[in-house]
Amino acid sequence: MSFLGLFLEASLLVQAVMVLLVAMSILSWALIYQRRKVLKAAETEALKFEERFWSGVDLAKLYKEVSAKGNKVQGTEHLFHSGFREFARLRQVRSMDPVSVMSGTQRSMRVAHSREMERLETHLSVLATIGSISPYIGLFGTVWGIMNAFIALGSVQQATLQMVAPGIAEALVATAMGLFAAIPAVIAYNKFSTQVATIDGNYINFAEEFTGILQRQTFGSVAQAEAQGQEA
């Protein structure tokens, strides 16, 4: 009645179900570890960059520091880098009015934000799928195993508990394995979804605050230029 014994005594289909559930469990734990690492790094990066951003550093200097990282720019840095790069490009176009400059800057940050959210949400759907279908796969194995057990009982004249128990135990192992694969996946998915939502809110807040800073610079420069023209 050991687990290995129950597995070996199960039918071929139930064994296939058990192997599938073990594979899904291993996959879910690998994704849990990988997503946990990515989201933790994203939270740490966001706090570190915002501390640097609000320290009063010159934005052009900060842009050069971020640009030096090359392809490693992620998270809040990515939003800042995309927004400031587009802002600097559009301001060099003399025919471009301030409203168009800010519209292009916001559009660039929205694209960067969308790409960052895609990166953070990668594989979360796999965890959700494992958490939702694993119990049903295990239940399928259980139903199949119990069905075979009762079919076997139908061929004997006198059934005893010793004859019924092993077959039912073999079948119920599949349900237990389904729950074993599903529960960690569901817990991790809910936890990671909450983390992603929090990070998303931080990204949106930063984009709005950064947009406000650039707007003040843009319209302040325009007002200053108009004042100088009137004085002249």
DSSP string for 154-202: TTSSS--HHHHHHHHHHHHHHHHHHHHHHHHHHHHHHHHHHHHHHHHHH
pTM listed for this prediction: 0.82
Domain boundaries, the chain: 3-224
pLDDT, tens digit, 9 for 90 and up, residues 97-143 = 788 888 888 999 999 999 999 999 999 999 999 999 999 998 988 88
More confident residue, 41 or 70: 41
Averaged pLDDT, 29-51: 93
Q: Please give, one letter per residue, the 3-state secondary structure of 35-81.
A: HHHHHHHHHHHHHHHHHHHCCCCCHHHHHHHHHCCHHHCCCHHHHHH
pLDDT of residue 117: 93
| Helix, strand or coil, per DSSP, at residue 132 | helix
Sign of CA dihedral 48, 206, 194, 34: negative
pLDDT of residue 96: 72
Angle among Cα 16, 171, 180 to the nearest 5 degrees reads 75
Residue 222 has pLDDT above 80, yes or no: no
**Secondary structure E strands in 75-143:** none
CB 28 within 8 A of CB 184: yes
